[in-house]
Structure 1
């Protein structure tokens, strides 16, 4: 059964920016923009009627403050997640947003790669959370770590990726490895993600170095040894 798309509402007073954000969102598989609200009244009405999974929320509006709107969402719709997209750079604003439980805080102007990375991470979180809600009443530490430490798991010990390793490509490579429980070669990964064998092997070896993936040697039909990559258990 195919998972349904994540339903998104954009709350942004600048219609041009809202349209750009909509196009960015719909470039990522698994997302659907339900609507765009440009003021407080529209925002509240659309949230009450549509009840989206995710709200992309600005802070500066002529008729409201996005932080107060965030507080209203939290008081009335606890299941809705929020990503702030704003020009606000004040540390106190960021602190209030984080205390309000936003999934991410993105500074305008949006960089497509940065935004896409967040949407990929959120999608992984969203489906994992719903999977746990269906399967378990009590969760363990491993389940929690997969939810709240997803970025640290893929970024290494210091949270910074080395030169030549792009987070979106890394996500793709890891997703492929997860699907092939019996292991997969660098060449096969490359074909699946549209990259060269050399590129895919670089990413796979990085995942090995941070203990996310294990590598083993396999001898093919012609006797040539190949490295086989599997998700580390």
Structure 2
């Protein structure tokens, strides 16, 4: 089980977030705190694997709390869960080692996706099968934690943001166009899944489709990242 400490200055919000966490398989709430001091004390009593951390706390900011915990040698992963959306705070959170940044208000589905991605990365890095890995595997693991591109926030049914990011990462690493089989080979996805995501990304305007004709007479569909719009 992954133990989570929920930190938010609003008691009701903390309860809602704790209820969300408890609904995700593999996670449990180790405690709730409503200030930086309470959070630090809670972690000293009961270590947690992950903190859902608000930035606006009554005694310290969330970022200051992260720095205090690091100085005290209290190790745990951090997911910022806050209404603070200014770029400077987001950048500071990244520099302080926050793995995720979820902007309030959000739905249960939004938090569940972040927690599930975190659990996948944690299992890959700390589970019994953990091992030295290649660059492609590292890219795949960290792709699960990336925030979806704003242009793809409304994904169709059956599509997930981590898999979308995984497909895009394969295309970014390759200078030329890729077929569905090429993407499948680079990501570990099935060819049919790769093809489904490639077609959706093309419909969204994020990929360009080209055709390569071979001996069979049937063209092979190949995909390339679309050029960004001119400014």
Question: What TM-score do you get using the length of structure 1 for normalisation?
Answer: 0.63
Of 7, 31, 35, the residue aligned with 1:35 is 31
Instruction: Kindly report which structure 2 residues correspond to 1:119-130, keeping only aligned pairs within 5 A, or say none.
Output: 119-130=115-126
Partner of 1:72: 68
Q: Structure 1 residue aligned with 2:51, among 55, 60, 64?
A: 55
Deviation at 1:126, TM superposition (A): 1.1
Correspondent of 1:141 among 116, 129, 135: 135
Matched, 1:208 2:204: no
- Aligned equivalents of 2:35 and 2:145: distance in 1? 33
Q: Figure out how many residues of one structure are paired with residues of the other and give that number.
A: 171
Q: CA deviation at 1:80?
A: 0.9
Q: Where does residue 131 of structure 1 map in the other structure?
A: 127
Give the unaligned 5+ runs of structure 2. 164-189, 199-231
Deviations along 1:135-174, one digit per CA (max 9) or x if unpaired, are: 43x433233223212367xx7x998378523545997xxx
- Measured after TM superposition, the shift of residue 117 of structure 1 is 0.8
Judge conservation of contact 1:74–1:100 (CA < 8 Å) in 2. no
Alpha-carbon distance between aligned partners in 2 of 1:151 and 1:66, rounded to the nearest angstrom = 20
CA change 1:17–1:166 in 2 (3 A) is farther
> Structure 1: 5+ residue runs without aligned partners?
172-202, 212-233
Q: Provide the alpha-carbon RMSD of the alignment.
A: 3.1
Distance 1:208 1:159, change over 3 A: farther
- For 2:192 and 2:68, how far apart are their aligned partners in 1? 46
**What's the CA shift string for 1:61-97, capped at 9, x where partnerless?**
1211111001122333464110011111211111101
Distance (Å, rounded) in 2 between the aligned partners of 1:130 and 1:168:
24
Aligned positions of 1:160-199 closer than 5 A: 160=152, 164-167=156-159
The equivalent of 1:150 in structure 2 is 144
String of CA shifts for 1:3-34, please: whole Å, max 9, x gaps.
Answer: xx100001111110000000111111000000
Cα distance change of structure 1 residues 75 and 208 upon mapping to structure 2, 3 Å threshold: farther
- For 2:42 and 2:119, locate their aligned partners in 1 and report how far apart those are by CA, in whole Å: 22
Query: Quick one: which of 90, 97, 106 aligns to 1:94?
Result: 90
| 1:31-77 superposed Cα distances (whole Å, 9 cap, x missing partner) | 00000011122111111221100000001112111110011223334
